[in-house]
Amino acid sequence: MSLPFDSRWLAFAVWGVGTVLVYGFVLIKRRRTWRLHHDIRSSRDLVEASALFGVAVSAAISVFMVLFGEAGTGIRPFLVAMSLGCFTGAGIVMATERMQHDPAEDD
């Protein structure tokens, strides 16, 4: 006797929803840091976390479409491309960060 449970839902819960929850936590944590400091570094970290959260949401939608959508048709290729584009955007933000000078290192 088997249970009428589709294992795709478990994969989506772990991979798709789990990713959104992890990056949501990162976003909340970095927003708290930004509210505390209001400096350039915390602002960049908040922008980076926002971009990564966008990637997580797009990736979760893509995972859902891969698991439950028809192969190669519909909106799935657009969502996959959007996820990869958001990921590239996050990489650009991280790559263009200026190094912060610490005056304590001048000793």
Burial of 56 (0-12, 13-18, 19+ CB in 10 A): buried
Mean pLDDT of the region 83-97: 67
The per-residue pLDDT for 50 is: 93
Note the pTM of the prediction, 2 decimals: 0.69
To 5 degrees, how large is the angle CA 39–CA 48–CA 16? 145
> pLDDT of 31-83, one tens digit each?
998 998 888 988 988 998 898 898 889 888 877 877 787 766 677 777 776 77
Q: Considering the chain, what is the average pLDDT of its residues?
A: 78
d(CA 93, CA 51): 9
- Would you state the structure tokens that stand for residue 61, as one six-digit string? 């939608």
Q: Is the pLDDT of residue 10 over 80?
A: yes
The tokens describing 100, both together, are: 């912060």
